[in-house]
Amino acid sequence: MQKRKLGNSGLEVSALGLGCMGLSFGLGPATDKQEAIKLLRAAFEKGITFFDSAEAYGPYLNEELLGEALAPFRDEVVIATKFGFLNGVPAQGMDSRPENIRKVAEESLQRLKTDRIDLFYQHRVDPKIPIEDVAGTVKELIWEGKVKYFGMSEAGVQNIRKAHAIQPLAALQSEYSMWWREPEEAILPVLEELGIGFVPFSPLGKGFLTGAINENTQFADNDFRKIVPRFANDALKANLVLIEEITAIAKEKEATPAQIALAWLLAQKPWIVPIPGTTKLHRLEENIGAVAIELTGDDKAKIEKALTGITIHGQRYPAQFQQAVDR
Which residues participate in catalysis according to the annotation? Answer: 57
Which residues, 6+ apart, have CB-to-CB distance to 166 below 8 Å?
131, 132, 135, 136, 139
CA gap 108, 82 in Å, rounded: 9
CA gap 5, 196 in Å, rounded: 10
Separation of first and last alpha carbons in the chain:
34
Q: The dihedral of CA 273, 274, 280, 283: what is its sign?
A: negative
With CA atoms as reference, report the closest residue to 245 among 293, 201, 313, 309: 309
CA gap 11, 30 in Å, rounded: 30
With CA atoms as reference, report the closest residue to 94 among 127, 116, 69, 66: 127
CA gap 41, 52 in Å, rounded: 14
CA gap 7, 171 in Å, rounded: 7
* Per-position DSSP letters for 260-319, written without gaps between them: HHHHHHHTT-TTB------S-HHHHHHHHHGGG----HHHHHHHHHHHHT-PPPS-SS-H
CA gap 37, 61 in Å, rounded: 13
Distances (CA, A) of 250 to 17, 267, 281: 22, 15, 21
